[in-house]
């Protein structure tokens, strides 16, 4: 069966597109998709050529610019290549040239249309550039070079960071919240840098997370990731917390594992009377298991019994009571043994963090005591995208992908692309 699509603009026939639709259901679906792609490309190209808005003559050096020749412009869109002409203006004084129609239409400076750029980066923030190219070809029938997507990511990189810094999302709290949770973590990623030993270097991606519950009990979470020094990251995390309602929150809970840089951030940016520090329960329990295995290396049953006892003390009596119990056990354990060293190591880990281990009070106040939200953020944001087999990154390339992924996970994707980042980055 032959199908024909007639394109009509303002009562005038523009073009007819026809094609044979037959065969299996799969074949018919593909034939129809291809037919509509041709029709869409024709309609887009016709509108760009003949429906150009009036543009005031630009001025330069205090004088109107002169009209010059028409210049052709070509873009690759999801429907294929589209071409149209625009008027060039030139300053008679300094010879500067402008194409004001491009500004009015929001035409990007690259070779990919805004919609194709959106689709390509949406794939890139989930999987590799090569896989993104394959998906564009398979799902949209358009061939894009891998290098074009890499260049596009580099082009819009500054716009992604500016958006994360400045955008006032509709998902920010609309009013005061009862409790704001703030947390951060680090994930090591492989870079393109080569060390003195000839191996690729690893750098830490720092991940920040702010989350809260609304009146209906629904969780709201905002995340980001950066490759930067802890001091700079702390300032960024504080800014995000401010946007999430830190100033008006009735109380703040800062959760982290035992990394020193995390608690330096807490001490500098989250240290007022409203804020409670919580040492992540699960990281502490991991240390308990390490000590239990060292004390009873050949007795799994005793390991389980010992750790269960410590967890009960920790849960119902808190970290200070556990500290005292470990001191008693230290005295009764033979010096120089692996078990004694493990106990001393655990005591050393606990000592500076005892004020973060009042778990009975935390539970009584219905606080989260684990950094599950932060851990899941690190996994979603970094591990799933940046730590695949054989992956290694430039710092700039990873920052762009992390920013795009943050924007997507924060449900701000459409808002970001409405800013026309291809032009904003120019």
Tally Cβ neighbours within 10 Å of residue 121. Answer: 26
Say what angle helices 338-350 and 281-295 make with each other, to 10 degrees: 160
Tally Cβ neighbours within 10 Å of residue 225. Answer: 29
- CA 7 vs CA 16, 29, 43, 79, 158: distances in Å: 6, 21, 7, 15, 40
User: CA 264: distance to chain centroid?
Assistant: 24
Query: Residues 401, 254: one domain?
Result: yes
3-state class (DSSP) for residue 188: strand
Query: Residues 179, 273: one domain?
Result: yes
3-state class (DSSP) for residue 67: strand
Sign of the dihedral defined by the CA atoms of residues 176, 180, 186, 189, in that order = negative
Given this model, what pLDDT does residue 195 score? 87
Closest by CA position to 101, among listed 43, 35, 49, 153: 49
Q: Beta strand pairing status for 66-77 and 80-90? A: antiparallel
Flag whether 113 is in a domain.
no
Residue 267, domain CATH: 3.30.420
Query: Residues 18, 34: one domain?
Result: yes
Ordered per-residue pLDDT tens for the chain, 426 residues = 888 888 887 777 778 888 889 999 999 988 988 888 888 888 899 999 988 898 889 999 989 999 999 999 999 999 999 999 999 999 999 999 999 999 999 999 889 999 999 999 999 999 999 999 999 999 999 999 999 999 999 999 999 999 998 887 777 777 788 999 999 999 999 999 988 898 999 999 999 999 998 878 888 899 999 999 999 999 999 999 999 999 999 999 999 998 999 999 999 999 999 999 999 999 999 999 999 999 999 999 999 999 999 999 999 999 999 999 999 999 998 888 999 999 999 999 999 999 999 999 999 999 999 888 888 889 999 999 999 888 999 999 999 999 999 999 999 999 999 999 998 755
Q: What would the pLDDT profile of 115-171 be if each residue is shown by its tens digit?
A: 999 999 999 999 999 999 999 999 999 999 999 999 999 999 999 999 998 887 777
Flag whether 363 is in a domain.
no
Tally Cβ neighbours within 10 Å of residue 186. Answer: 19
Flag whether 362 is in a domain.
no
Q: How many domains does the chain have?
A: 5
Say what angle helices 319-332 and 338-350 make with each other, to 10 degrees: 160
Distance from C-alpha of 270 to C-alpha of 241, rounded to nearest angstrom: 10
Flag whether 313 is in a domain.
yes
Helices (H), 68-145: 100-105, 114-124, 129-140
E strand map for 99-218? 179-194, 200-213
Token pair belonging to 406:
């943050």
Query: Residues 247, 374: one domain?
Result: yes
Say what angle helices 114-124 and 129-140 make with each other, to 10 degrees: 130
Query: Residues 33, 98: one domain?
Result: no
Say what the pTM is: 0.88
Query: Residues 89, 148: one domain?
Result: no
Flag whether 100 is in a domain.
yes
Sign of the dihedral defined by the CA atoms of residues 126, 127, 130, 133, in that order = negative
3-state class (DSSP) for residue 266: helix
Given this model, what pLDDT does residue 425 score? 53
Flag whether 360 is in a domain.
no
User: CA 312: distance to chain centroid?
Assistant: 38
Query: Residues 260, 146: one domain?
Result: no
Flag whether 216 is in a domain.
yes
Query: Residues 249, 160: one domain?
Result: no
Query: Residues 95, 210: one domain?
Result: no
Q: How many CA atoms lie within 13 A of 188 on its CB side?
A: 3
Beta bridge partners of 83: 74
CA angle 151, 239, 166 (to 5 degrees): 45
Domain limit, last residue, from 308, 325, 355:
355
Distance from C-alpha of 397 to C-alpha of 376, rounded to nearest angstrom: 22
Query: Residues 125, 160: one domain?
Result: yes
Helices (H), 296-371: 300-316, 319-332, 338-350, 359-364
Query: Residues 260, 401: one domain?
Result: yes
- CA 101 vs CA 61, 266, 348: distances in Å: 20, 50, 67
Closest by CA position to 15, among listed 23, 5, 25: 5
Distance from C-alpha of 424 to C-alpha of 155, rounded to nearest angstrom: 9
Flag whether 202 is in a domain.
yes
Instruction: Please enumerate in sequence order all residues whose Cβ is within 8 A of that of 1, keeping only pairs 6 or more positions apart, or say none.
Output: 20, 21, 22
Domain ranges, residue 406? 170-280+370-410
Query: Residues 197, 273: one domain?
Result: yes
């Amino acid at each position: 069966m032959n199908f024909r699509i007639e394109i009509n603009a303002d009562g005038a026939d523009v073009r007819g597109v026809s094609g044979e639709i037959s065969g299996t259901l799969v074949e018919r679906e593909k034939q129809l998709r291809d037919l509509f792609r041709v029709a869409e490309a024709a309609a887009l190209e016709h509108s760009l050529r003949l429906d150009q808005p009036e543009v005031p003559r630009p001025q330069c050096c205090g004088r109107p610019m002169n009209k010059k020749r028409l210049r052709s412009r070509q873009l690759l869109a999801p429907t294929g290549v589209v071409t149209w002409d625009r008027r060039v203006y030139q300053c008679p004084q300094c010879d500067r040239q402008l194409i004001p129609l491009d500004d009015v239409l929001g035409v990007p400076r690259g070779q990919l249309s805004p919609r194709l750029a959106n689709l390509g980066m949406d794939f890139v923030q989930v999987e590799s550039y090569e896989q993104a190219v394959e998906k564009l070809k398979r799902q949209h029938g358009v061939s894009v070079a891998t290098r074009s997507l890499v260049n596009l990511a580099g082009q819009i990189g500054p716009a992604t960071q500016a958006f994360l810094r400045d955008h006032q999302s509709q998902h920010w709290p609309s009013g005061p919240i009862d409790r704001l949770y703030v947390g951060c973590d680090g994930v090591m990623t492989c870079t393109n840098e080569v060390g003195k030993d000839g191996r690729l270097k690893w750098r830490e991606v720092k991940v920040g997370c702010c989350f809260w519950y609304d009146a209906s009990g629904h969780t709201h979470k905002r995340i980001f990731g950066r490759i930067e020094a802890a001091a700079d990251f702390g300032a960024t995390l504080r800014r995000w917390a401010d946007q999430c309602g830190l100033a008006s929150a009735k109380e703040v809970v800062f959760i982290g594992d035992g990394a020193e840089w995390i608690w330096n951030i807490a001490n500098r940016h989250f240290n007022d009377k409203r804020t409670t520090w919580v040492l992540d329960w699960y990281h502490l329990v991991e240390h308990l298991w390490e000590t239990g295995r060292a004390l009873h290396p050949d007795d799994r049953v005793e390991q389980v019994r010992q750790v269960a006892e410590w967890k009960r003390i920790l849960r119902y009596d808190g970290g200070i009571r556990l500290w005292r119990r470990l001191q008693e056990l230290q005295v009764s354990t033979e010096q120089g043994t692996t078990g004694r060293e493990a106990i001393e190591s655990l005591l050393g880990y606990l000592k500076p963090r005892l004020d973060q281990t009042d778990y009975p009070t935390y539970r009584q106040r219905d606080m989260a005591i684990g950094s599950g939200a932060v851990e899941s953020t690190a996994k979603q944001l970094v591990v799933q995208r940046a730590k695949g087999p054989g992956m290694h990154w430039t710092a700039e390339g990873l920052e762009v992908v992390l920013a795009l992924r943050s924007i997507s996970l924060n449900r701000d994707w459409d808002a970001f692309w409405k800013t026309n980042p291809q032009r904003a980055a120019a």
